[in-house]
Amino acid sequence: ALVDRIGAVDGAVHAFLHVDAEGALATAADIDDRRAKGEQLSYLAGVPIAIKDVLATKGMPTTCGSKILEGWIPPYDATVTATIKAAGLPILGKTNMDEFAMGSSTEHSAYGPTHNPWDTTRIPGGSGGGSAAAVAAFEAPLAIGTDTGGSIRQPGALTGTVGVKPTYGGISRYGLVAMASSLDQAGPVTRTVLDAALLHELIAGHDPMDSTSIPDAVPPVVAAARRADVKGLKIGIVKELGGEGFQPGVEARFTEAVELLTSAGAEVVEVSIPSLKYALGAYYLVMPSEASSNLAKFDAMRYGVRVAPAGVDDPSAEQVMASSRDAGFGDEVKRRIILGTYALSSGYYDAYYGSAQKVRTVLARDFAAAFADVDVLVSPTSPTTAYPLGEKLDDPLAMYLGDVATIPANLVGIPGLSLPVGLADEDGLPVGLQFLAPQKADDRLYNAAAALER
Closer to ligand GLN at the Cβ: 218 or 286? 286
Closer to ligand GLN at the Cβ: 67 or 153? 153
422 by DSSP, 3-state: which? strand
Nearest distance from residue 141's CB to ligand GLN, in Å?
A: 23
Nearest distance from residue 150's CB to ligand GLN, in Å?
A: 5
Of the candidates 50, 22, 266, the one whose C-alpha atom is nearest the C-alpha of residue 139 is 50
Q: Rounded to an integer, what distance in angstroms lies between the CA atom of residue 171 and that of residue 415?
A: 11
Within 13 Å, how many C-alpha atoms sit on residue 329's CB side? 25
Per the residue annotation, which of 104, 151, 172, 289 is the catalytic one?
A: 151
Closer to ligand GLN at the Cβ: 103 or 170? 103
End-to-end CA, the chain = 28
Strands 91-95 and 49-52: parallel
1: buried, middle or exposed (CB in 10 Å: 19+, 13-18, 0-12)? exposed
Nearest distance from residue 125's CB to ligand GLN, in Å?
A: 9
Q: Rounded to an integer, what distance in angstroms lies between the CA atom of residue 112 and that of residue 308?
A: 25
Crossing angle for the helix pair 21-36 and 2-13, nearest 10 degrees?
160
Other C-beta atoms lying within 10 Å of the C-beta of residue 22? 9
Closer to ligand GLN at the Cβ: 290 or 375? 290
Q: Rounded to an integer, what distance in angstroms lies between the CA atom of residue 161 and that of residue 303?
A: 34
Nearest distance from residue 256's CB to ligand GLN, in Å?
A: 27
Task: Give me the amino acid identity at 44.
Answer: L
Enumerate binding residues for ligand GLN (CB under 6 A): 101-104, 127, 147-151, 179, 287, 403
Of the candidates 443, 448, 444, the one whose C-alpha atom is nearest the C-alpha of residue 433 is 448
Other C-beta atoms lying within 10 Å of the C-beta of residue 101? 29
Closer to ligand GLN at the Cβ: 257 or 386? 386
Per the residue annotation, which of 66, 104, 127, 324 is the catalytic one?
A: 127
Nearest distance from residue 155's CB to ligand GLN, in Å?
A: 9
Closer to ligand GLN at the Cβ: 42 or 182? 182
134: buried, middle or exposed (CB in 10 Å: 19+, 13-18, 0-12)? buried
Decide if 127 is catalytic: yes
Nearest distance from residue 329's CB to ligand GLN, in Å?
A: 15
**51 - beta bridge partners?**
94, 144
80 contacts 203 by C-beta, under 8 angstroms: yes
124 contacts 155 by C-beta, under 8 angstroms: yes
Closer to ligand GLN at the Cβ: 171 or 287? 287
Nearest distance from residue 311's CB to ligand GLN, in Å?
A: 35
Those residues with Cβ within 8 angstroms of residue 36's Cβ, 6 or more apart along the chain or in another chain = none
Decide if 52 is catalytic: yes
Of the candidates 43, 50, 120, the one whose C-alpha atom is nearest the C-alpha of residue 88 is 43
Active-site residues, by number, are: 52, 127, 151
